[in-house]
A and B are shown apart, each in its own frame.
Chain A
Amino acid sequence: MALLTTVAAHAPDTDVGLYRTVRLIRRFEERAVELVRSGDIIGGIHPYTGQEAIAAGVCAALRLDDMITSTHRGHGHVLAKGADPARVLAELAGRATGLNKGRGGSMHAADFALGILGANAIVGANGAITAGAAWAARQSGGDQVAVSFFGDGAVNQGVLLEAMNLASLWRLPVLFVCENNGYATTLTVSDAVAGTITGRGEAFGMPSATVDGMDPRTVLAAAREAVDRARAGGGPSLVECLTYRFDAHHTWEHKARVRYRDDAEVLSGRERDPVEIQGVRLAGGERARVDAEVESMMDTAVAFALDSPHPDPVGALDHLYATGMRARPGGGG
């Protein structure tokens, strides 16, 4: 049971709902970065800051029983699909109360009850999984749609291109969402991508569009069109969302100071902020009310995560096999 009121309960496709989601993701990421710095989150995170409009807009076009797969930069997608922020944060902090009982961490958050089939740490790996889940739902007589989120780095992965071919060939209800933030870790799109990203979708006969990924309304409109088409049997689509990553590829950069974007570019990239773009659409009092609600929710989430127990090392390999089979112990024994 969700401890905190989740996104899905708040009409996420309204202007207030979209703002609430982008604001929640923003504050979640900022608080998570603080917990990385304090050592409460080990391993660091890939902050989604700046890209919030994409998760908010796409997930607002989905039903509760629709499915998503996500990436190493996945907190935003998971929150926007309705996961409990407290349990997501507890997962990042490796606690037993986390979504995955502390077994997955930042890059593998999953909540199957909400159609969140897992964030995936291998770039481009989730597209084919998404296609299979969409096929299974259709075979069961359902009309669910499955969304595969990935970054611009994934468009050069063979398995993703194979997955696009399968999805289009079999007219599967899939939405491929490319979050083009300009960089695959440090490599620019112009140094990595021959042709275009939408050209890859078009090559497989998929409707493919490039949209402003900084505006939640724009993303919602594009996603809604593609989701409606998929649900009606019209097959998959590709939506390329142009965006900018405000923070590091990974919090590791905060210490390592890798130089691949100059200050002027980062400043310029942050000028169009999805939280502001959506925020100005709300009346002043409404915005302040949502901000206060999000702040309170994050305070509760942080307290919940830090107060939660660590998992018992005795069960380190619990769930290794779904059948409960136990592996031989390591160590000396």
Chain B
Amino acid sequence: MPWLSYQKALNRALGDELARDPAVFVLGEDVRVAVSNVTAGLLKRFGPDRVLDTPLSEQAFTSFATGAALGGRRPVIEFQIPALLYLAFEQIVNQAHKFSLMTGGQTRVPVTYLVPGSGSKTGWAGQHSDHPYALFAHAGVKTVVPATPEDAYGLLTTAIRDDDPVVVFAPAAALGVRVDVDFDALAPVPLGVGRVHRAGEDVTVVAVGHLVHDALAVAEELAGDVSVEVFDPRTVYPFDWDGLAASVARTGRLVVVDDSNRMCGIAAEVVATAAERCDLTAPPVRVTRPDGAVVPFALGLDLAVQPDRAQLTAAIQKVLKQ
């Protein structure tokens, strides 16, 4: 079977959806030459009316997409840098997200906001390294953070077909992941359905995005001593609460590894919901970025604020002691 990289999976999903539905179009900065590679080849296949290079006007082109969606289109906006979402937060959260309710259901806003390269790319410093998926989950905007190439394909496809705004975070640390896959088996992945990557009995590790791969590596390292279940929510909003509850019911212990800042991050919500719904035999532990982290430039400093395998290993050992 052929190899598929995460980045190529995004490219393939875009191409397949552009081919399938004439209402779909892509817009963003430098998308015609495909600076991020995610839109490579699309201009040649679909022409300039389906692949729009925009001026550096994030606020305007984000709401331009909303207007086009009101007119029946399905725009996909590529944001090269995760922090650009802060510039367009008003346009996504306060405009696109609210049109359905505020108009009493008269319209829909099927826009996809794609961030290929979210989180730290190491070396890009304070304003290019954030991972703000929890902000959109908090605001109620559908938000996905795929971990694998096949889920990147399936969730981006679903996001484009969904009638509501959806933010797709493609972590920089996952873009190079490759799998041996049958292209014909690639399929849409429903929102709000998690995936147990590795079954286990002693502890549930909820891992978000690229951290799924770290969690699997740690689970393998500890395999002789501890049976770790790795649960990937895939969609952080809506979250697969039933899937989480089922996993924790099997293990009774919970660790969450999440590239959000600690305060009000996804890990906080997972732990809170587990405390409300599940019968935990030990206090849960979060492995996250620090509160209010600004990613510093120097490599060692950048890595110091990212959740890592050593922290996850220690967290697993901690919950098992109780």
CA distance A146 to B68 in the complex (A): 12
Give A217 to B221 CA distance when docked, in angstroms.
Answer: 80
Residue of B nearest to A91 (CB): B104
B290 within 8 A of A: no
Instruction: Give the chain B neighbours of A322 by CB distance below 8 A.
Output: 100, 105, 107-110, 163-164
A233 at the interface (CB under 8 A from B): no
B202 shortest CB reach to chain A, Å? 29
Given contacts A130-B67, A134-B67, contact A321 B72 (CB under 8 A): no
> Is A103 a contact partner of B102 (Cβ separation < 8 A)?
yes
Contact with B along A33-46 (1 / 0, CB 8 A): 00000000000000
Interface range for A: 35 or more
Name which of B87-95, B247-255, B295-303, B305-313 contacts chain A.
B87-95
Query: Are A129's CB and B67's CB within 8 A?
Result: yes
> How distant is the Cα of A259 from the Cα of B91 in the complex, in angstroms?
34
List the one stretch of A117-125, A246-254, A295-303 in contact with chain B: A117-125
A306 at the interface (CB under 8 A from B): no
Residue contact A321 to B100, C-beta cutoff 8 Å: yes
In the complex, what's the smallest C-beta–C-beta distance from A329 to chain B, in angstroms? 12
* CB-based contact A118/B67 at 8 Å: no
Which A residue sits closest to B192, measured CB to CB?
A: A325
Q: In the bound complex, what is the Cα–Cα distance between A100 and B101 (angstroms)?
A: 9
Question: Which of the residues B65, B103, B238 comes within 8 Å of A103, measured between beta carbons?
Answer: B103
Q: A123 → chain B, closest Cβ, in Å?
A: 11
Convert B20-59 into 0s and 1s, putting 1 for each residue whose CB lies closer than 8 angstroms to a CB of A.
0000000000000000000000000000010000110101
Contact B104 A103, beta carbon cutoff 8 Å: yes
Given contacts A100-B102, A100-B103, contact A129 B70 (CB under 8 A): yes
Q: Which residues of A contact B99 (CB under 8 A)?
A: 118
Contact of B67 among A102, A110, A133, A328 (CB under 8 A): A133
Q: Check: A192 CB closer than 8 A to any chain B CB.
A: no
Nearest CB on B from A244, distance (A): 30
Distance from A95 Cβ to chain B, minimum over Cβ atoms (Å): 11
Q: Does A158 contact B (CB under 8 A)?
A: yes
* Cβ–Cβ < 8 Å partners of B222 in chain A: none
**What chain A residues lie within 8 Å of B241 (beta carbons)?**
328
- Expressed in whole angstroms, the Cα–Cα distance for A255 and B63 within the complex equals 36
B60 touches A125 (CB 8 A): no
B107 touches A128 (CB 8 A): no
Q: Across the interface, name the chain A residue whose C-beta is closest to B105.
A: A319
Of A104, A129, A317, A327, the residue contacting B103 (CB under 8 A) is: A104
Q: Could you say which residues of chain B place their CB within 8 Å of the CB of A132? A: 63-71, 75
Interface centre among A108, A129, A140, A163 (most CB of B within 10 A): A129
**Contact across chains for B102 and A101 when beta carbons are under 8 A apart:** no
Tell me which of B72, B95, B103 has the highest count of chain A C-beta atoms within 10 A of its own C-beta.
Answer: B103
Contact B63 A128 (CB under 8 A): yes
A132-B71, A135-B64 known; A103+B95 contact, CB < 8 A: no
The residues of B that contact A159 with a CB separation of less than 8 Å are 59-60, 63, 90-91
6 contacts between A and B (CB under 8 A): A110-B107, A132-B68, A163-B63, A320-B100, A322-B100, A322-B105
The 7 A-B residue pairs with the shortest CB-CB distance in the complex, in nearest-first order: A132-B67, A136-B71, A162-B60, A101-B104, A322-B108, A128-B63, A319-B105
Starting from the known contacts A125-B90, A159-B63, A320-B100, 7 additional A-B residue pairs (CB-CB under 8 Å) come to A103-B102, A108-B103, A131-B64, A135-B64, A146-B67, A320-B101, A322-B105
Residues of B within 8 A of A (CB): 49, 54-55, 57, 59-73, 75, 90-91, 94-95, 99-110, 140, 142, 162-164, 238, 241
Q: Taking beta carbons and an 8 Å cutoff, which residues of A are in contact with B?
A: 98-104, 108, 110-112, 117-118, 120, 122, 125, 127-137, 139-140, 146, 158-159, 162-163, 165-166, 169, 317-323, 325, 327-328
